[in-house]
């Protein structure tokens, strides 16, 4: 795999010719909607085992090998026709072997809403181990809200993707609710009812396991949450179900804030089968413009997490969206939400270049809106996806979890599948 960054004057035809790959394959692999109008800074993922290179004046095999990150010996082996490595001819075409980027195998979870369209679902399913359908909202009496999930489950099972029943303490018609969480976690009868309803639903709909996403819990409910998870796993494991949880991105055990204090990394790492770390939202909807998942803060969370949770239980969170902020930022104002694909299309429409922040390992661009105000868009591209996916291998994690997959990002799968084999549990 090669990630090519578009430069001024580039055309897709030139890129395809330069690397000796089929033009239509580049268009299809990257699902490029406007092949004749590339954006400076845009990423093009090139999937090839061998690429062609045309010798120019001054080239040496050593320089070429260094440029492409391969050994001189590998370069020579790919070109047995070269009889004298010290005598290259201008215009001579040689083969450049592309090193296999495969690091290992990993598990991949994807959250989806039940509104996901059939085409998107079919595109994302082959790339997943688990699919978590969001969400069954737990009511104060332990009953569950309804969810239009059967079609998603059936299609997932047909592609050997394991569906996970997701429960939340979201108040129906509202958002995550601390009082609702307190009621669930401190009433044994409510918990018994909830667990029975979960088992009935999982059996009737053929779920593989459960995902618990309880957020904004009162700090005083920390141990009650741990106890509920112990009770839930004790009830579900005999049926062969796995239990996973989603946790806020903490960098220490005593991190303050309602989002963090009731999430006990060490205890949950001992209790459940997988933990999804929500390693995103540094740049968030109502916050100041920042990269959504800057690699430095993500690594800080992982550094703490692997110190108290077995790494092989951790799924690192991956955002699948972009934010567009108006500048100068005014506290309390909301960004606009874009997909990563829409972000590139927007840069193309505005005629601006995409920049790449090497510190955060994230792309961004600025533009002037019709009202004359400056905007900044932070998003993900193939480069930033690759940088964070490599952390799975670096930290020995189980894999990743995407929020959310209702909008497909084709380049994401090109990079993921070039780096890892996706584990299937079915």
| 34-46 per-position pLDDT tens digit | 999 999 999 999 9
Same domain, 83 and 135: no
- 283 shares its domain with 384: yes
> Does residue 389 have a pLDDT over 80?
yes
CA distances from 370 to 61, 216, 264 (A): 51, 38, 47
398 and 320 in a single domain? The answer is yes
Selection from 289, 409, 298, 284 nearest residue 359 by Cα: 298
CATH of residue 17's domain is 3.10.350.10
One domain for residues 148 and 267: yes
HSE of 294 in the Cβ direction (CA atoms, 13 Å)?
15
Mean model confidence pLDDT for the chain: 96
pLDDT greater than 90 at residue 298: yes
Which of residues 68, 97, 126 is at a domain's end? Answer: 97
What region does 27 belong to: left with phi over 0, alpha with psi -120 to 50, or beta? Answer: alpha
Tell me: do 241 and 306 sit in the same domain: yes
Q: By percentage, how much of the chain surpasses pLDDT 70?
A: 100
Identify the pLDDT of residue 372: 96
- Give pLDDT tens digits for 230-279: 999 999 999 999 999 999 999 999 999 999 999 999 999 999 999 999 99
15 shares its domain with 117? no
Burial 338-361 (b: 16+ CB within 10 A, else e): bbbbbbbebbbeeebebebeeebb
Q: Please indicate, yes or no, whether residues 176 and 140 belong to a single structural domain of this protein.
A: yes
Give the pLDDT band (50/70/90) at residue 50. Answer: confident
Residue 161 sits in a domain whose CATH number is 3.20.20.80
* 262 and 402 both lie in a single domain: yes
Please check whether residues 202 and 64 belong to one and the same domain. no
Domain end (from 72, 97, 122): 97
The average pLDDT across 120-125 equals 98
- pTM score: 0.93
- Residue 162's pLDDT band (boundaries 50, 70, 90)? very high
76 and 202: one domain?
no
Q: Point out which residues pair with 357 in neighbouring strands.
A: 362
293, HSE (Cβ side, Cα atoms, 13 Å): 29
Q: Are residues 84 and 49 in the same domain?
A: yes
pLDDT band at 98 (very low <50, low <70, confident <90, very high): confident
Give pLDDT tens digits for 206-233. Answer: 999 999 999 999 999 999 999 999 999 9
Angle, CA 407 vertex, CA 405 and CA 410 arms, to 5°? 90
**Predicted pLDDT of residue 101:** 67
Is residue 381 helix, strand or coil? coil
Rounded to whole angstroms, how far apart are CA atoms 144 and 200?
A: 11
Determine the angle formed by the axes of helices 178-185 and 188-205, rounding to 10 degrees.
90
d(CA 352, CA 40): 8
Cα 360 to Cα 366: distance, rounded to the nearest angstrom:
17
At which of 30, 65, 97 does a domain end?
Answer: 97
At 3, list the tokens: 């990630």
For 242, residues 6+ apart whose C-beta sits below 8 A from its C-beta are 164, 208, 209, 210, 236, 273, 274
- φ, ψ of residue 265 to 5 degrees: the values are -55, -50
Task: For residue 186, give its domain range.
Answer: 104-422
First to last CA, the chain: 28
Q: Facing residues of 138 across strands?
A: 144
Contact yes or no for 312/305 (Cβ under 8 A): no
Residues designated as active site: 215
pLDDT bracket for residue 33 (50, 70, 90): confident
Number of domains, the chain: 2
Residues 125 and 242 both lie in one domain:
yes
Q: Judge whether residue 99 has pLDDT over 80.
A: no
Q: Kindly give the residue spans of alpha helices, DSSP state H, lying in 108-211.
A: 118-124, 150-158, 178-185, 188-205
Cα(40)–Cα(347) distance, rounded to whole angstroms? 9
pLDDT score, position 49: 80
């Amino acid at each position: 795999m090669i990630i090519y960054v578009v430069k001024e004057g580039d055309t897709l035809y030139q890129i395809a010719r330069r690397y000796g790959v089929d033009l239509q394959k580049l268009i299809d692999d990257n699902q490029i909607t406007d092949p004749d109008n590339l954006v400076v800074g845009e990423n093009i993922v090139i999937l090839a085992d061998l690429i062609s290179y045309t010798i120019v004046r001054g080239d040496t095999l050593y320089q070429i090998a260094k440029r492409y990150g391969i050994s001189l010996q590998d370069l020579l082996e790919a070109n047995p026709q070269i009889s004298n490595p010290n005598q290259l001819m201008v215009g001579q075409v040689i083969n450049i072997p592309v090193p296999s980027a495969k690091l290992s195998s990993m598990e991949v979870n994807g959250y989806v809403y039940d509104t996901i369209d059939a085409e998107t679902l079919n595109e994302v399913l082959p790339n997943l181990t688990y699919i978590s359908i969001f969400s069954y909202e737990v009511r104060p009496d332990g009953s569950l809200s309804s969810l239009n999930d059967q079609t998603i489950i059936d299609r997932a099972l047909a592609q050997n993707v394991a569906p996970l029943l997701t429960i939340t303490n979201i108040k129906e018609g509202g958002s995550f609710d601390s009082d609702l969480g307190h009621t669930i976690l401190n009433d044994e009868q409510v918990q018994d009812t909830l667990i029975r309803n979960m088992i009935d639903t999982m059996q009737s709909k053929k779920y593989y396991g459960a995902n618990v996403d309880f957020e904004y819990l009162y700090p005083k409910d920390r141990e009650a949450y741990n106890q509920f998870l112990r009770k839930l796993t004790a009830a579900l494991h005999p049926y062969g179900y796995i239990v996973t949880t989603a946790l806020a991105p903490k960098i220490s055990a005593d991190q303050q804030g309602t989002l963090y204090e009731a999430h006990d990394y060490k205890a949950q790492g001992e209790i459940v089968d997988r933990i999804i770390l929500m390693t995103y939202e540094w740049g968030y909807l109502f916050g100041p413009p920042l990269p959504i998942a800057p690699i430095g803060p993500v690594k800080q969370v992982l550094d703490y997490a692997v110190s108290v949770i077995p790494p092989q239980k951790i799924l690192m969170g991956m955002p699948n969206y972009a934010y567009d902020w108006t500048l100068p930022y005014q506290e309390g104002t909301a960004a606009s939400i874009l997909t990563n694909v829409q972000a590139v299309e927007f840069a193309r429409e505005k005629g601006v270049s995409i920049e790449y922040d090497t510190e955060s390992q994230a792309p961004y661009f600025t533009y002037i809106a019709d009202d004359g105000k400056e905007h900044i868009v932070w998003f993900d591209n193939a480069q930033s996806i690759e940088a964070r996916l490599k952390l799975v291998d670096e930290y020995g994690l189980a894999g990743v979890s995407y929020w959310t997959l209702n909008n497909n990002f084709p380049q994401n799968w090109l990079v993921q599948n070039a780096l890892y084999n996706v584990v299937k549990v079915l």
